[in-house]
Structure 1
Amino acid sequence: MKRRQTNTNFFDLTNLSGDIRGGAISFLVAVPLCLGIALASGAPLFAGIIAGLVGGLVVGLFSRSALSISGPEAGLIVVTLSAIETLGSFPAFLLATCIAGLMQIGLGFARAGMVSNFFPSSVIKGMLAGIGIILIIKQLPHLVGYDADAAEGLALFQPGGFNIIEQLRMSLGQFSGVAMLIALSSLAVFYLWGRLLFQQRAFVKNVPAALIVVLLGIFINELVRMVFPQLALRGNHLVQLPVPGSPQEFLQLFTMPDFSQWNNPLVYTSAVAIALVASLEALLSVEATDELDPLKRKTPANHELKAQGIGNIVSGLIGGIPLTSVIVRSSVSINAGARTRLAALVHGTLLLICVVTLPTLLNKIPWASLAAILLVTGYKLARIEVFKGVFAEGPAKFIPFAVTIIAILLTDLLTGIGIGMITGIVFILREHYQNTHRVRTEHANNITRIHVSLGDHVSFLSKAKLLKLLKNIPDNAVVEIDGTGSSYIDSDVIKAIENFGVAACQRNIQLVFLPARPAESPVYTLTELADNYRRNNSERGFRHDSQPHLHRQVNPTPI
């Protein structure tokens, strides 16, 4: 009950300062990313800002996630760009976004959020580490002053997209000493802020290092502008918000959907694509955010789908691109000290205030400062301790973890997670195959007695290994198949045991079934099999015992 209350409260006064810090820092990171994602999506730049506002204020209001922050996300770039090109107009695309929001609400009521319960923890950790590595690598060009890739899409080697080798080569040809100075100064601030000597000071505890980094970056660049104007950073080296000259120009930045396209089938096709991608991204992101949560709270996935749907409806109605939960902003907020939903509301409120009143000041922030913030965030997501911890859990955890990272680096976020999920499922099936049953063997009075204990859930995957065991049973043996601990036994397994029972009499093998525990589902249990054999095969060497045999305790050995 206490966990639920923590999730639904807007804030806790004991965490007020941390929530404000987290919201402020995630806001600083979100501004250029909103613009960059809108640009890469083929939408008006301000559409990205609108999605960021709605993600912070609307989704933050309706969501029950304690720490997730929503907004436009790089994983939606492809589907957004494709939908705008297919529909031929941005207002028609906005209508598709609204319909996608309605579909997400429907998915929430249909309890589709249960899918999140099937994400293996190793894949989630691999996703976080992969994102961390990408953040680290993709900030390197920004650290030396090359800022063409403002969208920060989460893939390194996608065809026609971001190529890190090419970006690094080009960045060296556009080296900026001022950007490097800002980046190194920013990293020095982060390093000193984490030292024990600094942590003992009240100022350091109350003021986030990222805020100092941003202010320091502005100060250095403005100082260089006054002394050596030709060396100062400008253009796409800085944040670039639209600056309206009047209230009318500001209102013109908002766009209404084209409701006349309601009967266009392509609108609904695009809406389905947006809803599916945005929903899956949201479920993955909140699952990963819960993994980062120091208090280990659990987000209700179905409610989150409804909140994301409401957000996309509002975003589409006022001219914003689709939004979803964003792990990068959420992790930045958590690292800055956020602990409740207030951080998301602070993030959205600051975004609203600053785009209305302070766009000129925001446009002075160097990308090199923001790159340093994202670099540190990436390091915390992919630090070496994470790799050591997963490695210690064994190959069944580490291999899906590593495959997820590699796949994300080589493809994109959703494809990489899909490959990681398949790898994780293979290891789950392998483990299930290896633990279908346990067997112990006793020898007494020239009789071999083999006792087979079936597992709790005996699916069709258990059939092959059980058949292998039965095939190798010697003649003249007594075989006891114990299903008393099974809650489910697949009919294929039952059929395989039936066939063995028919052939057992030819090898003078006595087959004994111990009664199965009644199952809730209407499946063919061992009890029914035993009754059937008792009635029809009493002369074939089969015996049914109503009470389990008591044997000398022998340590069971997996086969």
Structure 2
Amino acid sequence: MNYYLSHLKHDIPASIVVFLVALPLCLGIALASGAPLFSGLIAGFVGGIFISWASGSQLSVSGPAAGLTVIVLNAIEQLGSFSGFLTSLVLAGILQFALGYFKAGIIGAFFPASVIRGMLAAIGLILIIKQFPHAVGYEISFEGDESYMQETATSSFQELISSFGSVSPGATVVTGVAILILILWETSLFKRFSLLRLIPGPLIVVSWGILYNAVAQKFAPAWAITGKHLVSLPVPENTHEFFNNFSFPDFSFLNNPQVYIAAVTIAIIASLETLLSLEAVDKLDPLKRIAPTNRELKAQGVGNLISGLIGGLPITAVIVRSSANINAGGQTKVSSFLHGILLLLSVMFFAQFLNKIPLACLAAILLQTGYKLAKPKLFMEFYRKGWNQFIPFAATIIAILISDLLQGILIGIGVGLYFVIRANYHAAITMTRKKNHYLLSLNKDVSFLNKALLRKFLSQINANSTVLIDTSNTQFIDHDILETIEDFLQGAHEDNITVEIRGDLHGKQEIQSQAA
């Protein structure tokens, strides 16, 4: 407990930032999913209040994710009922918990670093592309605010281009000053003052936006920000009306096979997105803490079970909110928990006040987050690492931008896997020559993939030579490799080639066979 209390001065400001980022996204994702707006808020505060403590991650923030909107929309349409969809979400939560219990979280360790960094950079670019229209007061589009869906990727670029011709002066002024505030707030000049360090920059940004709009509405209506570019929360008139916003699953849909299809789909996609986000958060964590993946799957399962039981959307660990948490100085899971409390309190008591916040303020916060995720410095860093790192990194970014998050990740992993195989292909067998003496080294595991390379090396050995085949460092030799070497040995005497073998050539294959 003392550990969490000692970091409150960092976690409280960070929780306010995450709350301000999460609030419009919860509403927007619900709208894009064809679900009640309140369901997005339910998922938001369930992710903060419950998953934060069940999770083993100190910095990850969970909530509704844009990557699941198409799945949710299709499931509601196929079942013909939101309450029927909630039944599938409850089952998905149980399935996710089972995946964690059976230690399926191990697959998170197999995502290449170049792909994870590419995913982060792509999300940063997506934030910039999607938030710029909000920043200049262009028509709102919620669908792709955190990640692309194939249906909205093209429209996102079109919307970005169109926004240049439809600039709202009021929103542009708010955004410009907001970005300036955020930049100045991180300078050493402002950090000298202990009082300013306690106040989060985004809170000043929001206060600036509300004050500006109040003044503009009174003295310069043409420069005021209109209602559709302000936060829009449902305002309950009383406690009874607040609780009426909750809905419950209809378990009679258990007889419908579509419920199980939707449940499996949600569980798999939500688990993959969570593991990807968790891996990314671990890389962004300044303290380099490693979150337990199996515990995270169990936590997400519990969260989705609760969300489904009270009328919420599917929940995943979300990299946008998590990175905003880290950038705002969050240190422990208290920041995620408090953001959930703030979401709950906001819809209960402060909806009418929050509806005064211009979306341009929130866009400025996300633009800064996007820039930090996709700094030009990051691209140069991977370029200097070489093509085997840069190409998977760039391929992941491009694939996500033209398709969606999961497809882009799979493409990036495929490209990364090619370079891994290519590197192992060349490293498994090496050959050196000194006059008419050859050293053919088989290193570690040599599989059938190296058969062509071995044949190439053997064909380069001249007649009247001496060859040493060294297998002392090899753990396993594939049968195809053994057969190729044996064929070479049988024909070596015809070219007066003397062959010496160091190590147990056949024993490597036998040991592997026994182990299998």
Instruction: Give the TM-score of the pair, scaled to structure 2.
Output: 0.95
Which of 478, 483, 500 is the equivalent residue of 2:466?
Answer: 478
1:297 match: secondary structure: coil
Aligned partners of 2:153 and 2:403 also within 8 Å: no
What is aligned with 2:433? 441
What is aligned with 1:235? 227
1:26 — aligned with what?
A: 18
Counterpart-to-counterpart distance in 1, 2:214 and 2:286? 38
Q: State how far apart, in whole Å, the 2-side matches of 1:172 and 1:308 are.
A: 40
- CA 1:387/1:19 → structure 2, altered by over 3 Å: closer, same or farther? same
Query: Hey, which of these two has a bigger chunk of helix by percent?
Result: 2
Which one-letter code corresponds to 2:138 in the other structure? Y
1:288 aligned partner: 280
Give the Cα separation in 1 of the matches to 2:295 and 2:415.
Answer: 29
Native 8 Å contact 1:489 1:524 kept in 2: no
C-alpha separation in 1, matches of 2:508 and 2:7: 48
Pick aligned residue for 1:98 from 72, 79, 90: 90
Shift of 1:520: 11
Q: In 1, Cα distance between the equivalents of 2:430 and 2:317?
A: 45
Distance between the aligned counterparts of 2:129 and 2:508, measured in 1? 53
Relative to structure 1, the CA distance from residue 380 to residue 520 in structure 2 (aligned partners, 3 Å threshold; closer, same or farther) is farther
Q: Is the Cα–Cα contact under 8 Å of residues 157 and 163 in structure 1 kept in the other structure?
A: no
Query: Is 1:272 equivalent to 2:261 in the alignment?
Result: no
The Cα of 1:196 is off from its aligned counterpart by: 1.9
Matched, 1:335 2:316: no
Question: Which of the two has higher C-alpha Rg?
Answer: 1
Aligned length in residues? 513
2:2 and 2:302 map into 1 onto residues whose CA distance is: 18
Q: Structure 1's 17 and 486: CA in aligned 2 closer, same or farther, altered over 3 A?
A: same
CA contact (8 A) 2:126 2:146 kept: yes
For 1:523, the aligned partner's letter is: Q
Q: Find the counterpart in structure 2 of residue 189 from structure 1.
A: 181
Q: 1:295 is matched by which residue type in structure 2?
A: L
Task: Indicate the percent of aligned positions where both proteins have the same amino acid.
Answer: 47
Cα 1:70/1:162, change in 2 over 3 Å: farther
Secondary structure of the residue that 1:338 maps to in structure 2? coil
In structure 1, the residue corresponding to 2:7 is in which secondary structure? helix
Matched to 1:335, the amino acid is N
Residue in 1 aligned with 2:452? 464
* Distance change (3 Å), C-alpha of 1:521 and 1:99: farther
Contact 2:95 2:264 in 1 (8 A): yes
Q: TM-score, normalised by structure 1?
A: 0.88
Aligned to 2:500: 512
What RMSD in Å do the two structures reach over aligned CA positions? 1.9
Partners of 1:418 and 1:266 lie apart in 2 by: 26
* Structure 2 Cα separation of the partners of residues 318 and 348 of structure 1: 15
Q: CA deviation at 1:519?
A: 6.1
Encode CA deviations 1:280-338: one digit per residue, 9 max, x unaligned: 00000000011100011111111111111111000000000101000000000101000
Distance 2:293 2:178 in 1: 37
Does 1:410 find its partner at 2:399?
no
3-state SS, counterpart of residue 84 of structure 1? helix
Structure 1 residues 519 and 287: CA distance shift in structure 2, 3 A: farther
Contact 1:35 1:151 in 2 (8 A): no
**Equivalent residues of 1:12, 1:340 under 8 A apart:** yes
Give the aligned partner of residue 353 of structure 1. Answer: 345
Q: In the alignment, is residue 365 of structure 1 matched against residue 357 of structure 2?
A: yes
CA distance in 2, matches of 1:286, 1:392: 26
Counterpart pick for 2:36 among 34, 44, 54? 44
Q: Distance in 1 between matches of 2:509 and 2:362?
A: 57
Check the 8 A contact 1:33/1:151 in 2, yes or no: no
The question of 1:501 aligning with 2:501 is answered no
In 2: Cα distance, 1:490 partner to 1:343 partner: 52
In the TM superposition, residue 88 of structure 1 has moved relative to its aligned partner by 0.9
CA distance in structure 2 between the partners assigned to 1:79 and 1:133 by the alignment: 24
In structure 2, the gaps of 5 or more residues are: none
In 2, the alpha carbon distance for the partners of 1:266 and 1:165 equals 34
- Structure 1 residues 62 and 363, CA, compared in 2 at 3 Å: closer, same or farther? same
Partner SS state of residue 487, structure 1: strand
- In structure 1, stretches of 5+ residues that fail to align are 1-8, 526-559
Letter of the aligned partner of 1:468 in structure 2? K
Q: Which amino acid aligns with 1:489?
A: I
Residues 34-84 of structure 1: per-residue CA shift (max 9 Å, x gap): 000000000000000000011111110100011100000111111111111
Aligned to 1:179: 171
CA distance in 2, matches of 1:523, 1:167: 58
| Alignment partners' CA distance in 2, 1:10 and 1:362 | 33
For the Cα contact (< 8 Å) 1:490–1:524, is it kept in 2?
no
Question: Within 2, Cα distance between the matches of 1:310 and 1:262?
Answer: 20
Q: 1:336 & 1:524 partners in 2: Cα distance?
A: 54
